[in-house]
C-alpha cells in the first residue's frame, strides 16, 4: 500500500475523516515552507498538497496566484520542490501530493519523472491542467514508480467523464466544490455533496473536496459526505499576512488546528 492508501485506511478504521492543507513551495521562503510542512503535519494534517510555483496558474484565484508570484521571485522551481520534499522525508512520513501544472513536470523529462519523484519522496501528483485523454504517457511513468496520479472532477462533469476520470485515478479523487478558481468563500456550494455521491457510483477510491473550503464549519460540512477536506487559499492568505513573523510555522499550525477543531467536538 502507498502512504496515501495507508492514511485513508487508518482514517476509515478510526471513523475519522481526512484533512489536506495546501501550501505553495517557496512562499515566503523554501526554508519556511519546510518548517510549515512539519508543523502542519503535527497540527492535524493527514496529507499535504505542495504547490509548485507556476507563472500562469489558471485554476487558481488571486491568493494562490500571489503566492506563486512570490515563490517565483525567490527563484523557486520544480527541482527545488523535490529537494524540499527530500529534506522533509528525513523528519516526517506524511504523504505529500505535488500540486503542479504540466509544464514544470515536463521540464524534468517524462523518462525521468517517476524516478525523480519517487527518489525525492513524493507520493502523488495532481496535474491541474492534465486531462485523462492526454495522460497515458505520464500515467505510465508514474505508475512504474508507484506514484499516484490524482485528477479533478467538477459539478459540471458528465457521468461519462466521471467514469473516465475514476478509471485513471489513483490515491483519491479530488472533487471541486464549485466551478471557477480557488479562493476563500463564505459558504460552500450544495453541488459538492451531490458530486461526491455521483463519483462514488464509479469508484471505491476516497473522495476529497476542495476549492472554497475556508472555515472549520466548511470542513465539518465536507466531512459529512466526503472522505477528506482540502483547504488552500485560507491557509495561503494567513501565510501572506504573517510572512514576516518569526513564529510563522506556529501561526499556521494554529490555523490548521482551528480548521480541524470539529474532530474533537
The residues that bridge with 152 in the sheet, in sequence order, are 174
The pTM assigned to this predicted structure is 0.94
Residue 188 banded pLDDT, cuts 50, 70, 90 = low
Q: What does CATH list as the number for 3-256?
A: 3.20.20.70
Asked if residues 38 and 247 have their Cβ atoms less than 8 Å apart, the reply is: no
Identify whether 190 is a catalytic site residue.
Answer: no
- Quick one: average pLDDT of 75-103? 97
Could you identify the residue written with the cell 479523487?
Answer: 173
CA distance 76 to 51: 11
CA distance 109 to 140: 13
Q: pLDDT digits over 233-253, tens only? A: 999 999 999 999 999 999 999
Q: pLDDT digits over 1-60, tens only? A: 899 999 999 999 999 999 999 999 999 999 999 999 999 999 999 999 999 999 987 777
54-63, 86-95, 187-196, 249-258: range with lowest mean pLDDT = 187-196
Residue 181 banded pLDDT, cuts 50, 70, 90 = very low
Query: Pick from 26, 47, 20: which is nearest to 235 by CA?
Result: 20
The residues that bridge with 126 in the sheet, in sequence order, are 99, 150
- Quick one: average pLDDT of 139-160? 96
Catalytic residue among 39, 49, 123, 148: 49
Query: Pick from 179, 167, 176, 187: which is nearest to 230 by CA?
Result: 176
Report the DSSP pairing between strands 124-127 and 18-24.
Answer: unpaired
Identify whether 238 is a catalytic site residue.
Answer: no
Catalytic residue among 60, 80, 148, 227: 60
Asked if residues 188 and 177 have their Cβ atoms less than 8 Å apart, the reply is: yes
Three cell numbers written together for 187: 459558504
Query: In this predicted structure, what is the pLDDT of residue 240?
Result: 97
Reply yes or no on whether the pLDDT at 189 is more than 60.
no
What is the chain's mean pLDDT, rounded? 93
Amino acid at each position: 500500500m502507498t502512504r496515501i492508501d495507508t492514511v485513508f485506511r487508518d482514517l476509515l478504521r478510526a471513523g475519522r475523516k481526512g484533512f489536506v492543507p495546501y501550501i505553495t513551495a517557496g512562499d515566503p521562503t523554501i526554508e519556511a515552507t519546510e518548517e510549515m510542512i512539519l508543523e502542519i503535519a503535527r497540527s492535524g494534517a493527514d496529507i499535504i498538497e505542495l504547490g509548485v510555483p507556476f507563472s500562469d496558474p489558471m485554476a487558481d484565484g488571486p491568493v494562490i496566484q500571489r503566492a506563486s508570484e512570490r515563490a517565483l521571485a525567490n527563484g523557486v522551481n520544480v527541482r527545488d520542490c523535490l529537494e524540499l520534499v527530500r529534506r522533509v522525508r528525513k523528519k516526517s512520513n506524511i504523504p505529500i501530493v505535488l500540486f503542479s501544472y504540466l509544464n514544470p513536470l515536463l521540464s524534468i523529462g517524462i523518462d525521468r519523472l517517476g524516478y525523480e519523484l519517487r527518489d525525492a519522496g513524493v507520493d502523488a501528483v495532481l496535474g491541474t491542467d492534465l486531462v485523462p485523454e492526454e495522460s497515458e504517457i505520464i500515467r505510465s511513468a508514474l505508475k512504474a514508480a508507484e506514484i499516484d496520479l490524482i485528477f479533478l472532477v467538477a459539478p459540471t462533469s458528465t457521468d461519462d467523464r466521471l467514469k473516465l476520470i475514476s478509471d485513471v485515478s489513483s490515491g483519491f479523487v479530488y472533487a471541486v466544490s464549485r466551478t471557477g478558481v480557488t479562493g476563500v468563500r463564505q459558504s460552500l456550494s450544495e453541488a459538492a455533496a451531490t458530486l461526491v455521491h455521483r463519483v462514488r457510483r464509479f469508484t471505491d477510491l476516497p473522495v476529497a473536496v476542495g476549492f472554497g473550503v475556508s472555515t472549520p464549519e466548511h470542513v465539518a460540512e465536507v466531512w459529512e459526505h466526503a472522505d477528506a477536506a482540502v483547504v488552500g487559499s485560507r491557509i495561503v492568505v494567513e501565510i501572506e499576512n504573517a510572512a514576516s513573523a518569526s513564529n510563522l510555522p506556529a501561526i499556521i499550525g494554529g490555523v490548521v488546528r482551528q480548521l480541524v477543531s470539529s474532530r474533537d467536538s
